């Protein structure tokens, strides 16, 4: 008997730890329910009343005991129904730097005609948020998670629980979303930016003239010349796009890992991360060169939020 219970327990644990694609819906086989501490006292009280009433043949005592039992069964049904068919639609977290708190945005959807009360969302560290979701509505909540190492951090197991309506029973369901949180390397180091990179007079070193290297597209702004519109690219997405080119007079700044060969790998990654932020803040046209192939392209020169993210992602996933 002990072996069978251990096997069942390990199987349930593996099921709750298996990453699940979103959106997902809480169904009966994934919802567990047990009495709370107050619930156990309530069951003990019913047992005492029924034993005493049957011993003394007290029909009024038996009626009270069975009435309390029926009330408990109805409460158990409502507790389980408070979670049934609740949907976890989206779990997302923006990239953060190692050591900072990652904000996990959780969106829940109640597609039924019943209001959901006192839904408690928590992670394995016992951090919790309690919310009420009206019928046919959606609700968002946030959990904050510590990030310790660069790279992809898996989303922790989330527990969706409820003790509504009387607090006699607790229903809960475990979920591990397949969401991964990108953790940038923590910027550190004291080395100055490499020599040879100077900001262009325009600031970011990118122009809309077609004389330099193609840098990408930006959205059309009223007043832009029609000759700068990339009509083919605009037709594909039904939005006007302006082609951007680098200024040929702008000096190119390469953040090269080879310049930091005297440091260990993590120190090099931290210094390169700091250089990326400094180059972005200074408005330079910069690129990243790593000694080994990275999961993301790093050899392109650029500037802006998308290029900064690409460089920091390459450093975060660099092995």
Mean local confidence (pLDDT), 157-166: 93
Q: What is the pLDDT of residue 296?
A: 52
**Long-range residue pairs from 122-126, CB within 8 A, at least 24 positions apart, any chain:** 122/158, 122/159, 122/161, 123/156, 123/157, 123/158, 123/159, 124/156, 124/157, 124/159, 125/156
Q: Confidence band (pLDDT; 50, 70, 90) for 300?
A: confident
Q: Would you state the pLDDT for residue 71?
A: 96
Lowest mean pLDDT among 21-25, 68-72, 162-166, 208-212: 208-212
Q: What is the pLDDT of residues 28-52, one digit of tens each?
A: 888 999 999 999 999 999 999 999 9
- What are residue 142's DSSP bridge partners? 105
pLDDT at 113: 93
CA distance 164 to 119: 8
Nearest residue to 171 (alpha-carbon basis) of 120, 128, 222, 123:
120
pLDDT band at residue 73 under the 50/70/90 scheme: very high
Does residue 83 carry a pLDDT above 70?
yes
Task: Indicate whether 8 pLDDT > 90.
Answer: no
Residue 205: what pLDDT? 45
What's the rounded mean pLDDT across residues 174-191?
92
Q: How far is Cα 216 from Cα 207, in angstroms, rounded to an integer?
A: 11
Residues 188, 272: contact at Cβ < 8 Å?
no
pLDDT tens digits, one per residue of 86-97: 999 999 999 999
* The pLDDT value given to residue 187: 94
Adjacent-strand bridge partners of 158: 123, 175
Cα–Cα dist 128/261, whole Å: 45
Predicted confidence band of residue 23 (pLDDT cuts 50, 70, 90) = confident
User: What percent of the chain lies above the pLDDT cut of 70?
Assistant: 81
**DSSP assignment letter at 315:** H
Q: Which residues contact 168 (CB under 8 A, 6 or more apart)?
A: 35, 36, 38, 39, 42, 72, 75, 76, 79
Query: Is 6 or 300 the better-scoring residue by pLDDT?
Result: 300
3-state secondary structure of 11: helix
The reported pLDDT for the residue numbered 210 is: 47
Tell me if 61 sits within 8 A of 47, measured CB to CB.
Answer: no
* Closest by CA position to 197, among listed 262, 258, 287: 287
Q: How would you class 236 by CB atoms within 10 Å of its CB: exposed for 0-12, middle for 13-18, buried for 19 or more? A: exposed
Burial class (CB in 10 A: 0-12, 13-18, 19+), 199: middle
DSSP state of 194: P
Q: Please check the confidence at residue 164 and state whether its pLDDT lies above 90.
A: yes
pLDDT value of position 199: 40
Per DSSP, the three-state class of 219 is strand
How do residues 191-222 score in pLDDT, each as one tens digit? Answer: 888 875 444 434 444 444 444 556 667 677 66
- Listed in sequence order, the DSSP H helices in 132-283 are 231-237, 265-282
Residue 65: pLDDT over 70: yes
The tokens describing 305, both together, are 């939020």
Q: How much is the average pLDDT of 147-174?
A: 93
Q: What is the per-residue pLDDT for 3?
A: 64
> What does the buried/exposed string (b/e) look like for 121-139 if buried means 16 or more CB atoms within 10 Å of the residue's CB?
bbbeeeeeeeeebeeeeeb
Mean pLDDT value of segment 151-177:
93
| Closest C-alpha among 303, 297, 259 to residue 280 | 303
- Structural domains in the chain plus CATH codes: 1-184 (2.60.40.10), 185-199+251-319 (no CATH), 206-249 (no CATH)
Tokens 């619930």 belong to residue: 39
Average pLDDT over residues 259-272: 93
pLDDT at site 241: 80
- Residue 2, helix vs strand vs coil: helix
Q: Is the pLDDT of residue 81 over 90?
A: yes
């Amino acid at each position: 008997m002990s072996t069978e219970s251990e096997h069942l327990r390990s199987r349930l644990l593996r099921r709750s730890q298996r990453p699940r694609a979103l959106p997902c819906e809480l169904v009966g086989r994934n919802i567990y329910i047990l009495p709370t501490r107050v619930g156990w006292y309530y069951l003990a009280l019913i047992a005492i009343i029924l034993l005493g009433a049957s011993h003394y043949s007290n029909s009024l005592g038996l009626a009270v005991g069975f009435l309390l039992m029926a009330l408990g069964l109805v409460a158990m049904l409502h507790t389980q129904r408070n979670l049934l068919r609740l949907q976890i639609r989206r779990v997302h977290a923006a990239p953060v730097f190692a050591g900072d708190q990652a904000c996990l945005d959780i969106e829940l959807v109640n597609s039924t005609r019943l209001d959901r009360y006192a839904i408690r969302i928590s992670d394995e560290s016992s951090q919790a948020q309690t919310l009420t979701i009206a019928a046919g509505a959606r609700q968002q909540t946030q959990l904050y998670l510590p990030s310790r190492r660069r790279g992809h951090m898996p989303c922790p197991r989330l527990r969706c629980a409820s003790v509504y309506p009387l607090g006699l029973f607790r229903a809960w369901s475990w979920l591990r979303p397949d969401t991964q949180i990108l953790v940038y390397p923590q910027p550190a180091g004291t080395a100055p930016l490499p020599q040879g990179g100077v900001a262009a007079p325009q600031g970011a070193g990118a122009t809309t003239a077609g004389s330099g290297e193609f840098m990408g597209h930006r959205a059309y702004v009223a007043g832009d010349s029609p000759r700068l519109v990339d009509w083919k690219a605009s037709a594909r997405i039904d939005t006007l796009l302006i082609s951007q080119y680098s200024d040929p007079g702008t000096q190119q700044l390469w953040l090269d890992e080879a310049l930091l060969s005297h440091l260990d790998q993590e120190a090099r990654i931290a210094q390169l991360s700091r250089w990326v932020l400094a180059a972005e803040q200074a408005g330079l046209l910069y690129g990243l060169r790593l000694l080994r192939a990275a999961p993301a392209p790093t050899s392109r020169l650029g500037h802006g939020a998308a290029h900064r993210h690409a460089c920091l992602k390459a450093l975060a996933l660099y092995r």
